Amino acid sequence: MALHPQVKAYLERVSGTRPDGATMTPAQARAYSAAVQRGKGPEVTKTEDRTIPVQGGTIPVRIYLPKGVGPLPALVWLHGGGWVGGDIDLADGASRHIANWASCVVVSVGYRLAPEFKFPVPAEDCYAAARWTFDNSASLNADPKRIAIGGSSAGGNLAAAVALMARDRNGPPLIYQALVYPVIERNFDTKSYRRNGEGLFLTRAMMQFYWEQYLRSVADAEHSYAAPIKAKSLKGLPPALVQTAEYDPLRDEGESYAAALKKAGVRTKLTRYKGMIHGFVSMWSEIDAGRDALAEVARELKKSFR
């Protein structure tokens, strides 16, 4: 189908603000992530900002508590931004919606960013946050037996990596993974890159920049914690929801990962949102399908939490 009218209107509104991926700097990438429409999400019972320890430092987390008597299930949520930009505020609306709709505690993670902190630091930060959520479940009013991981874009990449880490390192036990238009591998020659890599919200040149900032060397692109589809086996991973967008250069890699998960025996649901571009979930206040996608994440989480 054609680009959705709401997507067209969004792209027209932000026309001229996208940096040139070939000359983009980390500061420009962060400003671009910050410019994504951030509608005020719904009220939750309580939010709390904390700082948690990670190897070599600390990172911020924001905790969202919905109504309900605990212990409640929990979701560790990882924002997008190409590993270079984005922050807890970018994920605030999504975190609020999911907390309310899935009736779960949401722990939104402010992992350290590239290029100051290259792979594997952001992935290790996110794994540490999942471990912290499990270890501190009592103080979060959370059920340690019902913890899920999720994220969008680069956050989807990190969520998939954390699921692999948790399996490989025997914990924490994760029961679900929600991957919203995730980055899955460093491959700029898929059909969706060729068709959707220019002129939309995310471009091929921008993704080349993001990967260059994130990896220490091209060799890192073969590591499964950077490119989850490179894992020798995907068996034993938690059930997954993978969401993709029709006009996203990352569409094909996300759908290939969903197929690989299914082939490995992992219960996986794949949803392609027609007429949508990369980032549409973060644009939920302007694009109705963004809210629909968050509602789907919440529905699938509720099923897993049961």
DSSP letters spanning 248-272: -TTHHHHHHHHHHHHHTT--EEEEE
Q: Which of 153, 224, 282, 304 does the annotation list as catalytic?
A: 153
CA nearest to 140, candidates 53, 47, 238, 43: 47
Parallel, antiparallel, or unpaired for β 72-78 and 46-54?
Answer: unpaired
Parallel, antiparallel, or unpaired for β 72-78 and 105-109?
Answer: parallel
Helices (H) and strands (E) in the chain, counts: 9, 8
Q: What are phi and psi of 23, to 5 degrees?
A: -120, 10
Q: Which of 97, 248, 252, 304 does the annotation list as catalytic?
A: 248
Q: Tell me, yes or no, if 153 is annotated catalytic.
A: yes
140 SS3 class: helix
CA nearest to 200, candidates 257, 283, 89: 283
- For residue 16, how many C-alpha atoms fall within 13 Å in the half-sphere facing its CB? 2
Q: Tell me, yes or no, if 79 is annotated catalytic.
A: no
Q: Which of 143, 252, 278, 304 does the annotation list as catalytic?
A: 278
Parallel, antiparallel, or unpaired for β 46-54 and 57-65?
Answer: antiparallel
77 SS3 class: strand
Q: Tell me, yes or no, if 233 is annotated catalytic.
A: no
Q: What is the DSSP letter of 181?
A: S
CA nearest to 210, candidates 24, 76, 52: 24
Q: Compute, in degrees rounded to 10, the torsion defined by CA atoms 138, 45, 39, 127.
A: 0
Q: Which residues contact 21 (CB under 8 A, 6 or more apart)?
A: 203, 204, 205, 206, 207, 208, 209
As annotated, the active-site residues are 153, 248, 278
